[in-house]
Amino acid sequence: MSEAFVDPTLSYSRGADHPPLQELCIGQVLDKMANLYPDSPALIMRQESLRYTWRQLKDEVERVARGLMALGFVKGDRVGIWATNISQWALMQFATAKAGIIMVNVNLRFRSHELEYALKQSGCVGLVMEHEFRDCNYVETIQHLCPELQYCEPGELHSARLPKLRQVVYIGQTAPSGMMSWQGMLEKGDQLPLSELRAREASLSHLDTINIQYTSGTTGAPKGAELSHYNVVNNGQFIGDSMKLTEKDRVCIPVPFYHCFGMVLGNMACVTHGSTMVIPADYFDPLATMQTVHDERCTAVYGVPTMFIAEFSHPRFKDFDYSSLRTGIMAGSLCPVELMRRAIREMNCTEMTICYGLTEASPVITQTTTDDTFEHKTQTVGRALPHTEVKIIDAKTGEVVPHGQNGELMTRGYHVMNGYHNDAENTAKTIEPDGWLHTGDIACMDADGYVVITGRLKEMIIRGGENVYPREIEEFLYTYPGIKDVQVVGVPSEKYGEEAMAWIIPHEGKQLDAEAIQRYCRENIAGFKVPKYVKFVDSFPTTVTGKVQKFIMRQMATEELKLVH
């Protein structure tokens, strides 16, 4: 049994080979928890006033799995789920896994063009959906794509634009024309013998693809990462281990299920440890999150930096008791040091962890642990998880760089996706023949194996031949009084190729001066790093998970400033 290893001079590390990897399917892990902790709380849906024990959760999951099978879905079929953080989403996550159906996560904010692409590219034969989310009416969207729905019997859709789609299941009281109701599906499943589900489960392999997640894709069309039981089960196990989760923990999960953060770091990390999944609302709401931590005595809380900022900024932040909190995860984008300090100091998250990863790595590659020093918790993204290799390479030569030098982070191990769905070309570009996955992220590693993410390869600013890392400037600007949040992007420059631009959200009631900020930079950092442009905003463009979309900021700035591409 080997311990973690770090090369003495080069940026290469490998996580320990214990605990051993589990060759289990997701359904088998759920069964295990139902046997170990049958009457302990498994899932608490606050907005639905719904509580399942592990035994109840397993029973309901199997009812949904039988329903899916009764509708004719066979092993390997792709079925989309287009819904917020509701109980049906969580049930689908485990029911599809038990039935050997590949669940396709559909982004909450997809409109007709994006939905059509995802359903067509993945070859979905079914779609399970809610009525709407915010200003997007899901029913109208699918009816626009498939007008045939309104004239067919449920399960008999023949769509010109989505020829493989046969069945649409509606989560709600009265299903629109052509759709099967969720309740109707369950009733059909009640007629299917449990032995048929058991036979289906017996036919599954832990290496089977069980989930397709579409990457947001800053350029080109989104790509569908295929994740297996093996990927997701073991990643959830090691994530939870890093937080020392047990069956006594209650984890507040305000991040969306459709994203790896909610589905793997959230639900799967809980299921592998028997911890309670506590869902505060159907989509992120800072007040609901704080109220849930208080009422349910949660021991862990999750979020991306923008979520924690929203909580700290809320006028009722100090009305709630956070003394039950111990740990959690802050991830999804680069985490400001001061924000981590506040989570530890003001939310009692003394064992808060930071994760780094990407969808293609199912998703976590490195994580800090509860035992790490304050410096490591606030200044790094931790070390390689067990059974995980990490190296930092020179993007031009492919050679592993010395400790402390920036390069592209690559990873290899059980967690690397099976590939992009029906996309051999992009799979080959992303995964090397020897199994190493390109992350596209710039990072450096120290002599102890701790990793610092300094940016995206595509986000690195090259100004007059000088490499400028946005993260470095962002961390510096956080030291300026009155700055609540900041993002630095590169914008076109005729003279230098690119210049840095800072987008700044001031603290409430603070008036900031762009020239004063630039002067502060000139006095403290190298001239080529000083932002040429400063823009004050109320918010940043983000994905539904709160991940800042720098490529959109760059596009907006280029147009607003009338810069030459």
pLDDT in tens, 395-438: 889 999 999 999 999 999 999 999 999 999 999 999 999 999 99
Is 277 exposed, middle or buried, given 0-12, 13-18 or 19+ CB atoms closer than 10 A? buried
Q: pLDDT value at position 332? A: 65
Q: What is the CA radius of gyration of the chain?
A: 24
List CB contacts of 536: < 8 A, sequence separation 6 or more. 504, 505, 506, 512, 514
Q: How high is the pLDDT of residue 252?
A: 98
The b-or-e profile of 76-94 (16+ CB within 10 A means b, else e) is: ebbbbbbbbbbbbbbbbbb
**pLDDT of 216:** 59
Can you tell me the distance from the alpha carbon of 364 to that of 360, in angstroms, rounded to the nearest whole number? Answer: 9
Quote the DSSP letter at residue 319.
Answer: G
Residue bearing tokens 């070859």: 123
Whole-model pTM: value is: 0.86
Between CA 64 and CA 68, with CA 65 as vertex, the angle to 5 degrees is 85
Tokens of 71: 């509708």
Neighbours of 552 (CB within 10 A): 15
56 backbone dihedrals φ, ψ, rounded to 5°:
-65, -40
- Report residue 168 CA to chain centroid gap: 26
- Cα–chain-centroid distance for residue 300? 17
Q: Where are the domains of the chain?
A: 5-22+223-456, 26-39+47-204, 461-560
Which pLDDT does position 217 carry in this prediction? 47
Q: What top-level class would CATH report for the domain 461-560? A: alpha beta
Rounded Cα distance between 378 and 372, Å, is 10
Q: Which residues, given as ranges, of the chain have pLDDT below 50?
A: 217-219
Distances (CA, A) of 190 to 71, 198, 506: 12, 14, 56
Residue range 26-39+47-204 in CATH 2.160.20.10? no
CB neighbour class for 527 (10 Å; exposed up to 12, middle 13-18, buried from 19):
exposed
What is the phi/psi pair of residue 135, to 5°? -95, 10
Residue 249 corresponds to which amino acid? D
> How much is the pLDDT for 529?
86
Place of tokens 């997007």: 136
Question: Which CATH superfamily does the domain covering 5-22+223-456 fall into?
Answer: ANL, N-terminal domain (3.40.50.12780)
DSSP 402: B
Q: Which two tokens stand for residue 430?
A: 């992303």
Residues 6+ apart with CB under 8 A from 75: 99, 100, 101, 200, 203, 204
Q: In 278-389, where does DSSP find H-type helix? A: 286-296, 305-313, 337-346, 374-379
Helix (H) or strand (E) run with residue 392 in it: strand 388-393
Is there a shared CATH topology between the 5-22+223-456 domain and the 26-39+47-204 domain? Answer: yes
Q: What is the pLDDT of residues 243-283, one digit of tens each?
A: 999 999 999 999 999 999 999 999 999 999 999 999 999 99
101: left (phi over 0), alpha (psi -120 to 50) or beta: beta
Classified as helix, coil or strand, 188 is helix
